[in-house]
Amino acid sequence: MQEIDVKAIVALLRRQVWLIGLSTLLVLAIAAAYLVTARPIYTATSLVLVDPNSKSLVYSEIASVSGASENARVDSEVEILRTPSVALAVVRDQSLITDPEFGPKLGLGDKIRQALGFETSQDQSGDSLVKAVLVRFMEAVEVRRRGITYLIAVSVKSESPDRAAELSNALTQAYISAQVESKISSTLAARDKLQSQIAAAQAALSQGEGAIDGFIDTNLARIEAESGRSDIEALRLALTAADDKRLAANVRVQDLQTKLAAGDWATLTAGLGDAALAALQSQREALQRQLDGVPIGSTDDVNLRAALAQLDARQQERAAAAISRVEGEAAALAQSTQDLRGQIRQTLLSGTIPSEVLTELYGLQQEATIARSQYNLLLSRMRELEIQAAVQIADSRVVSPALPPNSPSYPNKRMALALALVAGLGLGVGLAFLNEYYIGGITTENQLRDVLHARVATAIPLITLKGETQRSIADSVITDPLSPYSESIRRLRATIDLSFKGSRAEATSASGDEGRVIVVTSSIPAEGKSTTALALARAFAQANRRVLLIDADLRKPTMHKLLGISAVHGLADWLHEPSSEELGRDLIVKDSISTVSLALGAGRAHAETDQLLGGEAFGTLLQMARGAFDITIIDTPPLLPVVDARYLAGYGDTLVMVVRFGVTSQSDVRSAMAMLNESKSPNAEVIAALNHQPSSAKSYRYAGYYTDYSGGDA
């Protein structure tokens, strides 16, 4: 398991503190701007208490309910409160369609269309507007149960605290009203269902009573004759007389009502025999005689007709009262007849009568009794349901109405700023790691080691040229051997020496057969690889090594410029004509301040440089160099712009990659390292050097690849 280097992380955060601070300030600024411009939202909450037991003012008994049923009941009421039907009642009662907050609004696209004179895409129909308002209102509503209690919190959000409280209370009232209406509707539906059953029971009861009366009327004479009972005869005669009177009374009532409807006052007065009605009839006749002698339309005619109309109303009232008395007498006779029938029925059932008659009569009596019980039960239940419907109350009640809140619930400024601070710091730290390890340039040896997964030999410090006495920073290795720059180059030399220990190259070198080849390259132009290669060659020369430095950057050779040598011919010319003795003599030159031999790349190649460097001539040159020199250093072109370095990497026993401090992107470094791993020999090791030195040139191009640091790769 890889250990976490806390010091490295702290150092990374310190290096990227500006990015972390900038990210934090930016997020805080965005949060502050939002808090300034955001409209405050207020939340008002009312509490509803649900009684799991259904309440009734008619019945006092309460059925026992289990805990699971109670929880299910409360949860059900929560879901009912969330239904669109309850919210729709509030939308209509509170006229939210015309409310500026919840009413129809045009979107940005519709506003633009409207400004341009086009029709908006919004549906202006009534149903669509109501649905849009309903959706907007339901988004502002939150209904939730408080823990495992019977309390339900109904919260409504609004831009106005008073409006939020008003809507919350309206929603709870709509819910309670809907609950009461639901109970009333279900009760009335049950009553309506019973009414049809009551009509059937009433018909069955009438049929049963009629069957008994018909049986008695049919068999009474036979029963009297067979039993010889005088009491039955007396009752039969009384029933016959009462029934005759009842029928006569009913006929009289019907006759009187017919005459009243026809306005036959004379006959009606005579039939009723009422003195007051007779006096009124006399007045009518007198007024009628006076009216016959008065001209039509005269004042007397009008007055007499008005008096006649008043008299007609009085006659109507008096006649209706008299007929009502006659109807009462008829009803009393009917009741008397019914009582006699009941008395006869009881007498027959309690006395001695033929058994077959008694059995049949008893069966009819039982059927009538059952029909009466059913009728009374249904009628009683229907009356109870009517009473229940009239006095229904809700099972829920508001225990804490919503009050206008004092402070907005949104936005929570403290929370928002705290979250923005945390988010800003998190974003900054994330960007810091991203910039350190993936996006930004290489700034530390540890970072370079993590990116390349290779040994980092040194960090070449930043120094300046000392006037005109120095042509290149590489001169400091000779002119100022104790400088930090010279020490960093010697550190690179020591690392390279250590890399050969135990390797095949070290074994062959120890036998004196051949020298070692070091390839110095970089990812992109202007990373200082040519200067580093020259300084490294001089450092090996100071260690009494025979050193050959080959400027293999044939596309843009710069070594002769660093040395101040004006060469007519160079490596490209010799590789093009390796058999030329003249070019061979001019190929190798000496460094003016050290023992380093150089194969300059002055001039421009007239053929593809990758073919020249990958050809037989260059391989022969390196073979001769291995035999004649202890160290051969090849200064290559950059890896990414051109292909040349891929051919040269295979010759190296050790490869040195120079990376420019803070400039070379990590993606370029990774890509270059991947190319080296593909091109190098299996035993060759890649060693990195972090170069703080800037390039001294102004432009540098490789086949369309451009960088601001140029002039070769000095």
- Which tens digit of pLDDT belongs to each residue from 58-67? 665 555 556 6
Please state the pTM of the whole predicted model: 0.53
Query: Rounded distance, CA 567 to CA 589, Å?
Result: 9
CB 641 within 8 A of CB 525: yes
Residue 336, CA distances (Å) to 202, 210, 240, 250, 663 in order: 22, 16, 11, 14, 124
CB 713 within 8 A of CB 526: yes
Residue 501, CA distances (Å) to 457, 504, 510, 513 in order: 16, 9, 10, 16
**What are the extents of the domains in the chain?**
1-36+425-439, 442-478+511-696
Checking DSSP bridges between strand 685-691 and strand 597-599, what pairing results, if any?
unpaired
Give residue 162's pLDDT band: very low, low, confident or very high (50, 70, 90).
Answer: very high
What's the confidence (pLDDT) of residue 690?
92
Instruction: Please give the biggest Cα pair distance in the chain.
Output: 174
* Amino acid at site 431: L
What's the confidence (pLDDT) of residue 228?
61
Query: Rounded distance, CA 282 to CA 643, Å?
Result: 142
Residue 337 DSSP SS3: helix
Return the number of other C-beta atoms located less than 10 Å from residue 221's C-beta.
Answer: 12
- More reliable by pLDDT, 519 or 446: 519
Residue 457 DSSP SS3: strand
Token representation of residue 105: 């609004």
Query: Rounded distance, CA 232 to CA 235, Å?
Result: 5
List pLDDT tens digits, range 276-302: 777 877 887 787 777 777 787 788 777
Residue 361 has, within 13 A of its CA and on its CB side, a CA count of: 25
Nearest CA to 688 out of 567, 522, 494, 549 is that of 522
- More reliable by pLDDT, 565 or 140: 140
Residue 274 DSSP SS3: coil
What average pLDDT score do residues 686-702 get? 69
Give residue 699's pLDDT band: very low, low, confident or very high (50, 70, 90).
Answer: very low
Residue 283, CA distances (Å) to 305, 307, 312, 428 in order: 13, 10, 10, 114
Nearest CA to 464 out of 699, 690, 694, 712 is that of 694
Token representation of residue 704: 């369309």
Query: Rounded distance, CA 326 to CA 272, Å?
Result: 9
* Amino acid at site 294: V
What's the confidence (pLDDT) of residue 122?
54
What's the confidence (pLDDT) of residue 705?
47
Query: Rounded distance, CA 548 to CA 656, Å?
Result: 16
CA angle 12, 13, 17 (to 5 degrees): 125
3.40.50.2000, 3.40.50.300, 1.10.530.10, 1.10.490.10: CATH of 442-478+511-696 = 3.40.50.300
What average pLDDT score do residues 480-490 get? 91
What average pLDDT score do residues 186-194 get? 87
Query: Rounded distance, CA 19 to CA 90, Å?
Result: 52
What average pLDDT score do residues 428-440 get? 81
H/E segment holding residue 48: strand 42-50
Give residue 207's pLDDT band: very low, low, confident or very high (50, 70, 90).
Answer: confident
Kindly compute the dihedral angle of the four CA atoms of residues 669, 675, 676, 680, in this order, to the nearest 10 degrees.
Answer: 180
In sequence order, which ranges of 297-393 are alpha helices (DSSP H)?
A: 299-350, 355-390
Residue 154 DSSP SS3: strand
Return the number of other C-beta atoms located less than 10 Å from residue 59's C-beta.
Answer: 11
Handedness of CA 63, 64, 69, 75 (dihedral sign): positive
What's the confidence (pLDDT) of residue 352?
64
Query: Rounded distance, CA 660 to CA 708, Å?
Result: 13
State what percent of residues in the chain have pLDDT above 70. Answer: 83
What's the confidence (pLDDT) of residue 606?
60
Query: Rounded distance, CA 318 to CA 324, Å?
Result: 10
DSSP string, 661-713: TTTSBHHHHHHHHHHHHHHS-TT-EEEEEEE-PPP-BS-EEETTEEESSBSTT
- More reliable by pLDDT, 443 or 631: 631
Sequence-ordered list of residues with C-beta below 8 angstroms from that of 16, at least 6 positions apart, any chain: 428, 431, 432, 435, 436
Residue 65 DSSP SS3: coil
CB 158 within 8 A of CB 39: no
**What single-letter DSSP state applies at residue 43?**
E
CB 517 within 8 A of CB 536: no
